[in-house]
Chains A and B, each alone.
Chain A
Amino acid sequence: MSGIEPHQSHVRAQVLVVGSGAGGATTAALLAEAGFEVLIVEEGPWVDQDSVTPFSLDQMDRQYRSGGVTVALGFPSIAYTEGRCAGGGTEVNSGLYFRPPLDVVDRWRRDFRIQGLDVDDLESIADEVEQAINVTTVPGNPTPASEILRRGAAALNWRHSEIPRWMKYPAGGDAVTGKRQSMTRTYLPRAFAAGARMLVETRVDRLVDNGLNVTAHVTYGDGTGRTPGGAITASHVFVCGGAIQTPALLQRSGIRSHIGRTLAVHPTVKLTAKFADEVNVPDDVPVHQVKEFAPDLSFGGSASHSGLVALALTDEWRTFSTAIEDWRRMSIYYAAITSEGRGWVQHLPGFRDPLVTYRLSHRDREVLRSGLGRLALLTLEAGATEVYPSFRGAPVVRGRGDLATMQQRFAASKASVMTVHLCSTVPMGEHRDRCGADSFGKVHGAERVWVNDASLLPTAPGVNPQATVMAFAIRNARRFIEQQQPHRPHRSPGATQNGAQV
């Protein structure tokens, strides 16, 4: 990739963007196109999309933090995943697209005192994003596992729809033929075309503001510390490492006020449903979702290759193990909730990674229970012959008559709870008792440091947050450009638009 720079001991840039996911890539592209000298640093490697099987162990090794084994501790602990590669989470998620929910955005504006938040403006940015990443529905057939969600919801007369994705399909192509329009295919190439440069496999350990600019102390390589580190000096820094790494970096840099104290997620519980026919598609996920009980509760489908089916059965393996022989007739589904609970991200001195905790509320546990029950009902209505809920002590559900027993035995503390939507660790707004950053992402109390990723969303939005993250990132980047234009040194025509000057 043409924009990637070799590691060097000292690098200068006008604007340093830490992280290259939905927030970082869009920020970098907009600032570079406005003429700023931009350097992007990414902790993970650049991985070409076509070189990896989606949702595989190989992908987890190469593109997920800690191989995908990351947990927010609690009762129960909640497994989560973070992308750790060029493009961040956009390279590894399912590509489902939801516009920013305007009622939620309006609530954020009021409750967190976000100034200059124009809903129409956000809608217009969403239009722009949808064009840039090619948001579209499947022109051909959805997967059988997706059709099951549609069929079950239709039988129950529950609200459901096909969720568009940021994908490109060949004419008339089925769901599995789509090519993800992630950041490595959209905003990062745009940033490079406008002169931005990128350092991959580069971790920012801490930021030091010396009064005139900010120095980022970095480690190169695989993170073992065996490779010599370096320093990057920049006039402005945008931290876009996601809702776990962004607060951790700020805390390591001595910035702690309202940072990392309000982690919000959408906890999910899951089940595996078995059908008469083969329904398993190992390397794609369903595009249908059921929103009858939204925003409190939503149903969707998960990646379901054989290893994941085995994993979903492990909570009650003694009872469920024989089902694994039929994995081709099985698919995994989830119930996701909007949680009232909150978590913490805390840097601990001497440790490289932060401690992450999360506490479900009593209401969250009850919604998870009812969600799993309703999800089981939906799969039965769609024709499931057997349903295997993922919690210790779960029964095999073969008909409506088993649902009461299942719900009676369920406890969130016995379930495999996980999440992928991590938000709200540096909430934005002028409410200084609640917010870590101002209405446009500038960190309160810091002169040269901005945040521009999912950390800024004041609460979990109740839907996949990527579109909301991108819309806010573009809004905030434009504000920065407007404010800096009068002070920005003019770049002479013909000058090399290098994001990094060594």
Chain B
Amino acid sequence: MRSVPSAPLVGPFADRLLALDFPALEPARREQAIAFAIRRVDGLPSVMNVGVVLIAMLFRIVLALPGNDAMLRFFARTPLPLLGEYVRLVRSLGYAYIFETWPDTRPDGSSPVGASAITTSASASPDPGTVE
């Protein structure tokens, strides 16, 4: 089974989640981070990709319901089994991209004055951290 394209499902959720976590992040930067997260989800091993897309469908439905802001806040803060792993995945990908690409980003997503054009060599990672 090939990867299932995830953009229509993951994109809107990542957008809302990152907007919630980083209210002062420039929209153009948020869009780049979302594109990165979608690319990584599309490249997941096939079994994981299918699982993530199924959960993403559920979240897409949640985002279409009335009162979705409150529900999004609940899911963003509550580490539920499986559903929480999806939130964690999207969040990790977004954070890694934002802080590697623009390392001086502040915790609210804003940039230091005059630093908006400064970028690194443009890469971070979900976690190559422990690399013996």
Residues in chain A within 8 A of chain B (CB atoms): 53, 55-61, 64-71, 77, 79, 81, 92-94, 96, 224-225, 268, 270, 285, 300, 302-312, 314, 317-318, 321-322, 324-325, 327, 332, 334, 336, 348, 350-355, 392, 414, 416, 418-421, 464
Q: Which of B6-14, B58-66, B94-102 contacts A (4 or more CB under 8 A)?
A: B94-102
8 Å CB contact of B129 from A57, A355, A418, A421 = A418
The answer to whether residues A420 and B120 also contact, given A71-B48, A225-B2 and a CB cut-off of 8 A, is no
Cβ contacts B27-54/A at 8 Å (1 or 0 each): 0000000001001100111111010000
Given contacts A311-B99, A351-B50, A418-B127, 15 further A-B pairs with CB under 8 A are A56-B100, A56-B122, A57-B36, A69-B48, A94-B131, A94-B132, A307-B98, A307-B103, A308-B127, A314-B91, A314-B95, A324-B105, A332-B129, A352-B2, A352-B46
Tell me the bound Cα distance from A222 to B43 in angstroms: 11
Let me know if B106 is at the binding interface, CB within 8 A.
yes
User: For residue A304, which residues in chain B have a CB less than 8 angstroms away from its CB?
Assistant: 129
Other-chain residue from A300, A321, A352 in contact with B1 (beta carbon distance below 8 A): A352
> B130, A420: Cβ atoms under 8 Å?
yes
Smallest beta-carbon distance B100→chain A, Å:
3
Is B55 at the interface (CB under 8 A from chain A)?
no
Answer whether A93 and B96 are a contact pair too, CB < 8 Å, given A55-B125, A58-B122, A71-B48.
no
- Would you call A306 and B127 a contact (CB within 8 A)? no
Min CB distance B74 to A, Å, is 14
Contact assessment for B123 and A392 in the assembled complex, using a CB-CB cutoff below 8 Å: no
The answer for the CA separation of A131 and B109 in the assembled complex, in Å, is 49
Q: Which chain A positions have C-beta within 8 A of B85?
A: 77
Q: Which residue of B lies closest to A321 (CB)?
A: B107
Please list 27 pairs of residues, one from A and one from B, whose beta carbons are closer than 8 Å in the complex, sorted by A's number.
A56-B125, A64-B128, A69-B40, A71-B48, A92-B128, A92-B131, A94-B131, A94-B132, A270-B129, A302-B131, A303-B131, A305-B100, A307-B97, A307-B98, A307-B124, A310-B95, A311-B99, A311-B125, A311-B129, A314-B95, A317-B95, A324-B99, A327-B99, A351-B46, A353-B48, A392-B79, A420-B132
Residue on A with the closest CB to B45?
A: A353
Of B39, B91, B128, B132, which contacts A55 at CB under 8 A? B128
CA distance A302 to B128 in the complex (A): 8
Contact of B122 among A57, A92, A354, A392 (CB under 8 A): A57
Minimum CB–CB distance for B97 against chain A, Å: 7
Q: In the bound complex, do residue B129 and residue A308 qualify as a contact, i.e. CB atoms below 8 Å apart?
A: yes
In the assembled complex, the Cα of A53 lies from the Cα of B43 at a distance in Å of 21
B59 vs chain A, min Cβ distance (A)? 18
Q: A68-B127, A310-B99, A332-B129 are in contact. Are A324 and B2 (CB under 8 A)?
A: no
Max chain A Cβ within 10 angstroms of own Cβ: one of B44, B97, B99: B99
Q: What residues of chain B lie closer than 8 Å to A303, measured between beta carbons?
A: 128-129, 131
